Each structure stands twice: as structure tokens, then as C-alpha cells.
Structure 1
Amino acid sequence: MSLHRRPVRVPALTALAAVLALAGCTPGGAQARVDPPPAPPADVAGFCAALHGRLPEKVAGLARTPTDPESDLTAAWGGSAIVLRCGIPKPAEMADPKQEGVHVNGVAWLLEELPDDAGGGFRFTTGMRLAYTQVRVDKEHATDAGMLVGLSTAVAETVPEGISSY
């Protein structure tokens, strides 16, 4: 008798587990844990707040996700698939002339491939702007820099060109 019940129970439990897992992934229900950078100077924080208000609702087809803790210095899309941090201190990698970069919609981005032991993917950091903005993209969504189009537009509209002293 238990042989007849087990096939029914296992699929039922599997289906229940799948429904519960999907419920955690529904838009608006998920949050991405994103640590804001250390408190930047007031002018940099102001640029970041303006950027936060102009960020696209979708990046690479992924919906914007609330961040935990909530901050004008952070944003995320698709859970933690794409994570943005604004107002970071100048990365040491900016001084390396061998680093690669891309220009998208008038915004220069430093391009760094992340090692597999760090989760893989890519990290893009704006250059020549008065606030440094960093975007980390997981391996699955790091197929091309096209996902930077909407982000670059928002950066170009809100963070003035220049060299940040922070």
C-alpha cells in the first residue's frame, strides 16, 4: 500500500517545493542583499540619488529588484544577477593602463572579468565621471555589454563628466 502512495506523495511534495521556490522569485517578492559603499561625500551622494531615480526598470530583460538594505547607492535586477553600487571609492584598477574598457552611450566603463572563485561574470566601473558607479553582472547575463545601454543613459543624464577626487 505504501508503494502506491509514495509515487503520489513525492510528486506532490516536489510540486509544492517548486511552487514555494517560485513564490520566492516572483517580482516584488525577492530582494537582493547589496551592501552600500561607505558613505561618499555629499556631492557624490547627490549624483547617486539622481542616478537611482533614473535607473531603468529592466536591464537585460530582468526586472528591478528591491535591495536590502534599501539605499540610493544601490540597485539590482533579477535578484542579484545584476547589481549596481554608486559612490564607490576610486578603484585601484583605474590606474592600470592595461585594463580594458568600453564606451556605451557616451559613458566610459572599465571592464574586469571576475575569476570563477569570485562567482565569475564581469564588473564594469564608470570612469571620467564625478561619481564612480560599479555594475557586477553574473556569468549567465554577462554575454555582452549591450546590457549597459540603459544604465549608461541614466549615468550620462545624472552624473556629470569629470574626475572624481573620491
Structure 2
Amino acid sequence: MNFFRHRHRIAFGPPVLVLLITAAGCSSADDSASAALPSPGAKATKLCRDLDKALPSKVDGESRHDPEPVSALTAGWGGPEIILRCGVTQPPKMIDPKVAEGADPDAVAGGVNGVDWLMEKRDGGGHRFTTAARSAYVEVTVPDGADSSSVLIDLAPAIRKAIPEGIAD
């Protein structure tokens, strides 16, 4: 009888163990998008922390759901997520307007509610927007299906409040 119970555990133990390991590996964090953390200098980091405190709880009607790893330098809304990264480096496509050579015809500049943006189409779909003429660069990726203008309108007040106009380091 003891032999049978021992065989029974061996026969069913590994599948149960695999199931438990799989279940333990799954969590709500696995459902989160991920975002590479920028590494800005001290001045931009302070501005980004101020921005994080000023960001709205909803963007384009979507609730805030920050990406992994959680940081004051990143924020997210909805799913697929609208991702904001603060303190990014200047995009290569953003050039001095005095320089005519090297301009990217697919990169479009524009302003929304007092915040200037560089808009780029993403290879995988959607768009990437990066603030211009601000003391820190803020990048926002918007997936296909999200209303880009609504996203930028919703984010503009927080960016105007936390990231002053100027030239980023």
C-alpha cells in the first residue's frame, strides 16, 4: 500500500509541480507593458519626477497602468498601452531648424495646447511623439487605434506645468 502511494506521488508530482511553478510565474505584472528606463541627468530627473506627480489618471479615456519596471520616469495608460518616458535623449530626427540637410521627411513637427512635438511613425504601427523646446525630452508612444490628438491634449497641461520651456541638456 505504501508503495502505491509513493508511485502515485511520483506519477502526479511533476505535472502538479510544473503547474504550480507556471502559476507562480504568472502575475498582474506579467500583463504590464515594459518600457526602457531613460537615464537623464539630475536636472531632468527632478523635472520628470515633478511630471510624474502632475500626470492625469486617465489619457484618451484609459486608466493609468504604469509599465515595468515602475519608475517616476515612465507612465502608461490602457492596453495596448500608451507609454510616456521622461528624460529620454534627443531623437536623432530632431535637428536644428537652421540645418536644412538631414531633415527626415517622415518626421513632422507640430504643437498641441502649448506643447511642441516631433511626430514619428513607428515601424510596428502607431506613433512616437517627443517634446521639443522643453527642459527635458518627453517621449510618448501611441499604439494604432488610440486617438493621438486626444492623448497629446490630455498630457499637455501636465507637461506645461512640470517641464518648463527651454533647451534640454
Scaled by the length of structure 1, what TM-score is found?
Answer: 0.75
Shift of 1:52: 0.5
Gaps of 5+ in 1: 1-23
Task: Kindly indicate whether the alpha-carbon contact (under 8 Å) linking 1:33 and 1:80 is maintained by their aligned counterparts in 2.
Answer: no
User: How do residues 104-143 of structure 1 correspond to structure 2 at under 5 angstroms?
Assistant: 104-115=112-123, 119-141=124-146, 143=147
1:17-71 CA distances to partner (integer Å, 9 max, x unpaired)?
xxxxxxx88xx9953211211x211000000000001111111111100321110
Scaled by the length of structure 2, what TM-score is found?
Answer: 0.73
Gaps of 5+ in 2: 1-26, 96-102
The code of the aligned residue for 2:151 comes to M
When Rg is computed on C-alpha atoms for both structures, the one with the higher figure is 2
Structure 2 match to 1:6 = none
Structure 1 match to 2:34 = 33
The code of the aligned residue for 1:62 comes to E
> How far apart in 2 are the matches of 1:106 and 1:81?
24
Structure 1 match to 2:84 = 84
Q: Identity percentage over the alignment?
A: 39
RMSD between aligned alpha carbons? Answer: 2.0
SS of the counterpart of 1:154? helix
Structure 1 match to 2:10 = none
Task: Kindly indicate whether the alpha-carbon contact (under 8 Å) linking 2:135 and 2:166 is maintained by their aligned counterparts in 1.
Answer: yes
User: How do residues 40-51 of structure 1 correspond to structure 2 at under 5 angstroms?
Assistant: 40-51=40-51
Which of 127, 131, 151 lines up with 2:155 in the alignment?
Answer: 151
* Residues 1:100 and 2:122 are matched in the alignment: no
Task: Kindly indicate whether the alpha-carbon contact (under 8 Å) linking 2:82 and 2:143 is maintained by their aligned counterparts in 1.
Answer: yes
> CA, structure 1 residues 46+80, in 2 after alignment: closer, same or farther (shift >3 Å)?
farther
> How far apart in 2 are the matches of 1:144 and 1:66?
19
Shift of 1:100: 1.0
User: How do residues 3-22 of structure 1 correspond to structure 2 at under 5 angstroms?
Assistant: none
> How far apart in 1 are the matches of 2:162 and 2:130?
16
Shift of 1:86: 0.4
